[in-house]
Amino acid sequence: MTHHYLLFTVLATWCLSHANCGFPNVNPTLGEPWPKPQQQVWDPALFRVDIDVVPFNITGETCADLEDAVSRYTNIIASFIAEFRGVTASRLYASGASHVGDDPPLLLEQIEVELRTACSEDQYPEYGMDESYSLTVNTGDALGRAVIAADTIWGAYRGLETMSQLFYYDPSGAVFVRSGSIVDFPRYSYRGFLLDTGRHFLSLDVIKQNLDLMAFHKYNVFHWHLVDDPSFPFYSVRFPLFVLGAFREDKIYSPDQVADVIEYARKRGIRVIPEMDTPGHTRSWNSYDILTRCYTDGEPDGTFGPLDPTNSSIYSLITDLLDEVTQRFPDRSVHIGGDEVSFGYDCWLSNPGVQAWMAERNYTTPQEVEAEYITNLLEVVAGLPEKPQYMVWQDVVDQGITIKEDAIVHVWKEPEWQAEMDKVTSLGHRTVLSSCWYLNKISYGIDWYKYYDCEPESFGGSAQQNELIIGGEACMWGEYVDDTNVVARSWPRAAAPAERLWSAKGANSHSEAASHHRLRDSANILSKFKLRIVRGVIFTYMLFTLYFYFTYIPTYCSNCRP
């Protein structure tokens, strides 16, 4: 039957030399790191990798943490090489960079890591830590090798990650590394990702996988929304009965497991900030008799509202609980919530005990009840031996409650987040933005554009106000995600805020953002715009290869088209 092939003989022969093309929407770049480094100068020299395992050489200070990281990246790079060497002969790739030269390329011999200050396992990542690094690959005095240099281990981690993203391969199956030099540091010190283990339980494996992906994108804060209305999976040593509010006995994080997560994060330069949200979002806390009983027609109706403000023992409980939490989580910050208390107002007002208590105080509104609780809570936090800094959801400030000057206000509401940022920074508070990065809210299409285009400083504040923006946080609330879909739903969408928070302001401007809609339908994409979309795509495939060890990479080819 194959003789029918001759029907189109002449043209078909032409095509055979241009096999396996396909028409992907966007062609990927080769060896472009994400998030985009602050300064990068590429050298057009080809730099090839002929060895299966690229050796690292630690030339400065070292410690077990650094050695572990180097071993991790040795494996990541070796997997990448093993994945592609030899199996890609048929694959044609369009190169984002031009690598043309007559001389045979130099070969990568080793990667040097120069840490300039001592490191130890006692180091814990903290707000404002130095994450800067420089990377020189096959250029200047680093011909034939790559050099990562950093003052801190945090910078070394970031540099190792960037290094691992410079590898790519060409149609012959040969592996290359981009040549050039990079000087890099973050725009914002707080680059967070929230996981919510109160609405669905997430296994330790998935939490760790997410931490790996966070490190991949230079995120440095895991905001662990531990508990919420639906369940209380956090095992408190001081209050063990709380876990009766867990979904099931195997849906609990033991103290060892929590410590394991913290250590896993620490070794990737990621802080873990726990959240204990009160007085709302506490339905699962009812193992202890601290919730307001709601009344209907003058009788308790069996439902429960926020913490019961008339029960003075709630303060000793929350003191002890936060004492435990701040001791077990080494981060200096603790998130104490304070959002959406208004959902419980009716319950408060329905309860005769609360009514009497309010009357004693001459309170007439539930807002006053909330304010008293939060004010007392802030005093509790101030009196803790660990002296934590605290973070609160914006609701607390919106209620006009006075908070400590160094408290961090977490802006989450939409759509008026710009006015809120203006207000909060005018009050002199540091702030973290999440409103535009609620990644749990899905929609059809390439929605990462809008996450990418959100500029935290776009509210038009003064330079002084802008300085109070310490960063942002992508939130993956747990209503509709669990182990089955949280990774695919988070990534690569969370890569967009990662670049916004790390890369230089205006690295990709709003005028580019405005072009997105044109881009979608345009066959002729302006190369300047293309680059950034393209980097998103290659990133997706890096995920597949490095994390899921998939056996394929969608192939892209533009030079085969007529």
Partner 1 sequence: MLRHWLLTSVAAGLCSCGWAGFPAVEPTQGEPWPAPSDLQLGDTALLIPMPDQLEFRVTGHSCDSLTAAISRYQAIVAGLAAPRPGRRRRPTGTPARRVSAELARVDVNLTTECSMPYPEFGMDESYRLEVASSGATSGLAALTADTLWGVLRGLETLVQLMYANGVGGLYVREASGSDGPRYSHRGILLDTARHFYPVTAIKDMLDVMAINKFNVFHWHIVDDQSFPFVSETFPALAEGGAYAEDMVYSQQQVQDIIEFARLRGIRVIPEFDTPGHTRSWGVGLPGFTTACYGADGQPDGSTGPVDPSNEDVYTMLSIFLTEISERFPDNYIHLGGDEVRFGFDCWLSNPQIVAWMQSLNITTPEEVENVFFQRLLDLVADIPGDVQYVVWQDAVDNNVTVRPDTIVEVWKGGWQVEMDKLTAQDLRVILSSPWYLDYISYGSDWHTYYDTEPESFGGSAQQNALVIGGEACMWSELVDETNLMARLWPRASAVAERLWSPKGTVRTDFTASRMEEHRCRMVKRGYKAQPANGPGFC
The residues in 2-31 that bind partner 1, with binding defined as CB under 8 A, are 2, 4-5, 7-8, 11-12, 14-16, 18-25
Taking the complex as a whole, the smallest distance from the CB of residue 93 to partner 1 amounts, in Å, to 10
Hey, what are 458's tokens? Answer: 């776009």
Taking the complex as a whole, the smallest distance from the CB of residue 94 to partner 1 amounts, in Å, to 13
| 406 counts as binding partner 1 under rule CB under 8 A | no
DSSP characters for 127-159? TT----EEEEESSTT-TTEEEEEESSHHHHHHH
Among 250, 256, 299, 521, binds partner 1 (CB under 8 A): 250
Among 74, 257, 287, 355, binds partner 1 (CB under 8 A): 287
Among 34, 133, 222, 232, binds partner 1 (CB under 8 A): 232
| 342 counts as binding partner 1 under rule CB under 8 A | no
Which of 118-126, 130-138, 345-353, 546-554 is the region at the interface with partner 1 (rule: CB under 8 A)? 546-554
Residues labelled as active-site residues: 340
Which residues lie closer than 8 Å to 456 by C-beta, 6 or more apart?
188, 421, 433, 469, 471, 472, 500
Which H or E run contains 489? helix 486-490
| Interface with partner 1 in residues 304-323 (CB under 8 A) | 313, 316-317, 320
Taking the complex as a whole, the smallest distance from the CB of residue 284 to partner 1 amounts, in Å, to 6
Which H or E run contains 110? strand 110-115
Which of 187-195, 241-249, 369-377, 427-435 is the region at the interface with partner 1 (rule: CB under 8 A)? 241-249
Minimal CA–CA distance to 318: which of 409, 227, 394, 395? Answer: 227
**Eight-state DSSP code of residue 52:** S
| 481 counts as binding partner 1 under rule CB under 8 A | yes
Which of 153-161, 232-240, 412-420, 450-458 is the region at the interface with partner 1 (rule: CB under 8 A)? 232-240
| Interface with partner 1 in residues 26-55 (CB under 8 A) | none
Which of 40-48, 83-91, 369-377, 384-392 is the region at the interface with partner 1 (rule: CB under 8 A)? 83-91
Hey, what are 400's tokens? Answer: 């006009």
Which of 106-114, 127-135, 148-156, 475-483 is the region at the interface with partner 1 (rule: CB under 8 A)? 475-483
Among 26, 45, 82, 87, binds partner 1 (CB under 8 A): 87
Among 44, 53, 426, 550, binds partner 1 (CB under 8 A): 550
User: Would you say 28 or 37 has its CB closer to partner 1?
Assistant: 28
**What is the three-class DSSP state of 425?**
helix
| 235 counts as binding partner 1 under rule CB under 8 A | no
Query: What's the alpha-carbon Rg for the chain, to the nearest Å?
Result: 27
| 238 counts as binding partner 1 under rule CB under 8 A | yes
| 551 counts as binding partner 1 under rule CB under 8 A | yes
Rounded CA-CA distance 549/311 in Å is: 54
Tell me if 372 sits within 8 A of 361, measured CB to CB. yes
Hey, what are 65's tokens? Answer: 């943490």
Half-sphere exposure of 483 (CA within 13 A, CB side): 8
Taking the complex as a whole, the smallest distance from the CB of residue 90 to partner 1 amounts, in Å, to 4
- Counting every residue written for the chain, the total comes to 562
User: Would you say 419 or 488 has its CB closer to partner 1?
Assistant: 488
Torsion of CA 370, 372, 374, 378, to 10 degrees: 180
Taking the complex as a whole, the smallest distance from the CB of residue 396 to partner 1 amounts, in Å, to 24
Label residues 305-331 b or e (16+ Cβ within 10 Å = b). Answer: bbbbbbbeebbebbbebbbbbbeebbb
| 482 counts as binding partner 1 under rule CB under 8 A | yes
Among 126, 229, 422, 455, binds partner 1 (CB under 8 A): 229
User: Would you say 248 or 517 has its CB closer to partner 1?
Assistant: 248
User: Would you say 265 or 439 has its CB closer to partner 1?
Assistant: 439
Task: List strands edge to edge, sheet with 175-177.
Answer: 106-107, 47-49, 175-177, 167-169
User: Would you say 154 or 169 has its CB closer to partner 1?
Assistant: 169
| 230 counts as binding partner 1 under rule CB under 8 A | yes
Tokens 């993956």 belong to 476
Amino acid identity at 323? D
User: Would you say 363 or 438 has its CB closer to partner 1?
Assistant: 438
Rounded CA-CA distance 52/306 in Å is: 59
| Interface with partner 1 in residues 417-446 (CB under 8 A) | 440-446
Taking the complex as a whole, the smallest distance from the CB of residue 427 to partner 1 amounts, in Å, to 32
Rounded CA-CA distance 534/529 in Å is: 9
Taking the complex as a whole, the smallest distance from the CB of residue 527 to partner 1 amounts, in Å, to 18
Tell me if 81 sits within 8 A of 52, measured CB to CB. yes
Tell me if 415 sits within 8 A of 453, measured CB to CB. no
For residue 139, what are the CA distances in angstroms to 42, 177, 179, 537? 9, 12, 6, 28
Number of residues forming the site for partner 1 (CB under 8 A): 84
Which of 52-60, 204-212, 279-287, 325-333 is the region at the interface with partner 1 (rule: CB under 8 A)? 279-287
| Interface with partner 1 in residues 191-210 (CB under 8 A) | 198-201
Tell me if 90 sits within 8 A of 556, measured CB to CB. no
